[in-house]
Chains A and B, each alone.
Chain A
Amino acid sequence: MEALKQKAKELLQKGDVKAVLGYAVGTGNVRRPHFARTPEQVDRLVLDEKCTQNLATYLTKHEVKHLGKVAVVALPATQRALLQLVAERQLRDDAICLLAMDGTEVKVLPSGAAVEQHLALKTDAMPTADKAMIEKLMAMTREQRWAYWQQELSRCVKCYACRNSCPMCYCEHCTMDCNRPQWVPVASHALGNLEYHMVRAMHLAGRCVECGECGRACPVGIPVHLLTFFAEESTAKQFGQRAGHSTKLDYALSTFKPDDKETFIR
């Protein structure tokens, strides 16, 4: 922790970055994002197992972009999100400065290539609980699975917290906000909820960095992240391509390769 603070202070003092984005203790002992703009503010940074939020979400916001270069305390999912954002041209490669923990050591990753290299050493592991849940859902019959999601999604109040917390949902004008024409109904009734979550899963297939932020953000506890996880895993299995592993764009849903499998066409 001290090493991290030390590095953060160094970066600020040298003027390499305008702010360091990390975690601080918020009300009720939760961990909330913290922008440290001065070395003094760095002291409030914490990093422990309670810190889960994907901070990459903030980097595409106008307010943050205006700050200048920001160093980010990056968990593996955050690192993946950053790579994908560079691939989708939402961040410039030279705007990257990540503080990643490697055991107790702090590593500064100054470019997409460095992040790629750092990530290559790690294996992706979806949380076992989520993996088990997906397996359980896939073992169900089509009707049971339908009933499960009908039940879960009936609680959705369409607050769009899942969308707003997602690092890959950076569009300024979301499909959900389209009202000429209004493809997806605004009201949080069964059809509207289903349509919204289906559209969200499809928009994230091949782009989801599997941080699970959407599921954590849901105020009524719907495991919405399972939808995008499954979409991402399916794309990876079908096309051998994973989001957030490279700064080069390789989006399975908009490219064609002669050896693409077509087993999903039934």
Chain B
Amino acid sequence: MSRIGVFTCHCGENIGATVDCAKVAEMCKHVPGVAHSVDYKYMCSDPGQRMMQEAIKEHNLDGVVVAACSPRMHEPTFRRAVSNAGVNPYMCEMANLREHCSWVHEKNDATTQKAADLIRVLVEKIKHNTPLYPIKVPVTKTAMVVGGGVAGIQVALDIANGGHKVILVEKSPSIGGHMSQLSETFPTLDCSQCILTPRMVEAAQHPNITLMTYSEVEKVDGFIGNFKVTVRKKARKLDEKLCTGCGLCIQKCPNKKISDEFNEGLGTRTAIYVPFPQAVPNRPVIDTLNCTFYKTGKCKVCEKVCPTNAIRFEQEDELVTIDIGAIVLATGFKLMKTEAFPEYGYGKHKDIIDGMQFERLASASGPTAGVMKRPSDGKEPETVVFIACSGSRDRSKGVPYCSKVCCMYTAKHAMLYKHKVHSGKAYVFYMDIRAAGKDYDEFVRRAIEEDDVKYIRGRVSKIYEEDGKLIVKGADTLMGGEPVEIKADMVVLATAVQSNDRSEELAQTLHVSYDTYGFFAEAHPKLRPVETNTGGIFLAGACQAPRDIPESVAQASAAASKVLGLFSQDQLTREPIVAVVNRQAGPTYSYCVGCFLCQTACPYQAIEQEQILARNGEVIKTIARINPGLCQGCGTCVATCRTKAIDLQGFSNEQLYAEIMTL
């Protein structure tokens, strides 16, 4: 016979005002299996907990029902208290009298009766409870950071400074990401590369950081603390150890007219190239799609000029599998292209450019060495129109969300232009100015008031070319929608920030959820913003949503602190609320028939195959096994299993059945 204690809490007035707690305690005394039943004003208080612990000892209780608030609030409190009194914590259950009864009902007898019923249900459940013990899983203390932009670099540095190994995987030949392409940064107008490159070098030289540039994550197996990540090291077509980065091959490469990705198509590069002068690592790659040797079978100039014979034309991609304990995704974003805008000429006007192209034009390391020249004819533009919200906040043609950074960078662009071309005129078409952030609004005011940038609130309906000028037709909604026409020399579209190419594919590889737009989803929008729903995988930067640099860096450090917290333990302790596959004596061995329909249903990839072997090693049966390290206890497999071979510990079929049949 069970000896169960029932402790009914008044929660001050929260429960006590509508439920007659003294009567509930009295009613529960008569439930079979209940050995002790009392009520108290605040069970969670110190005296309340002490009272419970003393009652456990005095009445020799083997199970406890605390009838109080939601288990989300105080289950850990009471389980700890019960545990300290020598009873297994999983023999303690909470009846939610507050949210499920007192808050939602009027004060009357039926409410009190319902409270007693909620307790009765759990008394029956506890009769079927078994002691459960926490699950321990080991931790591999190496982190992988996917994406080598400013967020990824920050995560890597923070984890490395915390004393753990980090592998930084970047798909392009150099780390640095979009920040390395920017000219200046808002709101301080300091040079982007000047502040980023020291971090890049620090990451490259840090003894705890291994850079894997020109590499991509191919496959992820395993679970928190115990991932196995397969990385594809794309062939650079040269021996990185022999190469000194002298750049002779780049100088001599005859194929010089390839559109340069780093300069957003505004400049050219060679077939063997480093993306930009401060690239880390400073090792070139051969672009096999454009290299003359790969196209025609002849050339090999780079091989001839290389002083260390580092060129390897026959080099192939390499797959490396690494044991990893935690993964941080920092894969960044991409910008919508100007081709997406029919009303702005589908990107066919050379002088209608996007924000990132403007960054390159304004950058000292850019194709014009920072001199303001428009792409079509290299003339200095006398009038420049900036259009904010190009594609953002546009339900019909673009994306419905705000891209967040455009208001600020448009103000910055207009300012940079005015600083470079003093006589020039800058116009900004905007919908709203969203400049929430430290010194952000001041920055926009400065553009308007000190640098004389003309802000026009309204949208642009059309841009077309006439006599070598771009005619921008819009409306000024602050002037009652009066039509505005500006003859511009160059137009800069602040195009929408979008999730990066292949982000959905990566999310599926890592089993991380993502939203409609391909941005990775956080576990909780407020309280768990850098964690994903998959244990051990964290997020940093613009792969989650549009973010500016300070936010990306802050989030990166937050993700790093989560990883360091994880790595501070030698073993992870997990709640034993996991599914288990039934096992029993032969000839059945298990109710599981091994159809593995549960395997596709499991959102956490926790279901593996297990072979039941005879003594001679012959396979008798192949059944499902649930990896307790991965299982999150959602119960989907339990519902999928036709033979009821799977049960969720702590919420077993028998426990639930007992609860239902009590009512």
Contacts and interface: CB of A to CB of B under 8 A. Distances in A.
Do A and B assemble together?
yes
Nearest to B602: A254
Nearest to B596: A89
In terms of DSSP, what is the predominant structure of the interface of chain A? loop
Nearest to A250: B600
B30 interface: no
Contacts of A249: 596-597, 600
Contact of B593 (A90, A183, A253): A90
A30 interface: no
B640 A253 contact: yes
A254 B595 contact: no
Contact of B654 (A174, A180, A203, A251): A180
A94 interface: no
B645 A173 contact: yes
B328 to A, nearest CB: 25
Given A88-B597, A89-B596, A254-B600, A171 B643 contact: yes
Interface string B637-654: 000101111000000011
Interface in A161-214: 170-175, 178, 180-181, 183, 203
Contacts of A253: 597, 601, 640
A250 to B, nearest CB: 8
A255 B601 contact: yes
Interface string B72-85: 00000000000000
User: Interface residues of B toward A: which range?
Assistant: 20 to 34
B642 A171 contact: yes
Nearest to B128: A181
Given A89-B622, A90-B593, A203-B642, A181 B600 contact: no
Nearest to B516: A258
User: Interface residues of A toward B: which range?
Assistant: 10 to 19
Contacts, number: 57
B654 A90 contact: no
Interface in B563-608: 588, 591, 593-598, 600-601
B346 interface: no
Nearest to B603: A256
Contacts of B654: 180-181
A139 B596 CA distance: 37
B653 A88 contact: no
Contacts of B601: 253-255
Nearest to B589: A172
Given A181-B657, A203-B642, A254-B640, A171 B593 contact: yes
A249 B607 CA distance: 15
A180 B654 CA distance: 6
Nearest to B661: A181
Contacts of A88: 595-597
B658 interface: yes
Closest 7 pairs between A and B when the two form their complex, measured CB to CB: A181-B657, A254-B601, A88-B595, A173-B591, A171-B643, A254-B600, A203-B642
Interface of A: 88-90, 170-175, 178, 180-181, 183, 203, 249, 251, 253-255
23 contacts: A88-B595, A89-B595, A89-B596, A89-B622, A90-B595, A171-B643, A172-B588, A172-B593, A172-B643, A173-B588, A173-B644, A173-B645, A175-B644, A178-B653, A180-B654, A249-B596, A249-B600, A251-B597, A253-B597, A254-B598, A254-B601, A254-B640, A255-B601
Interface of B: 588, 591, 593-598, 600-601, 622, 640, 642-645, 653-654, 657-658, 661
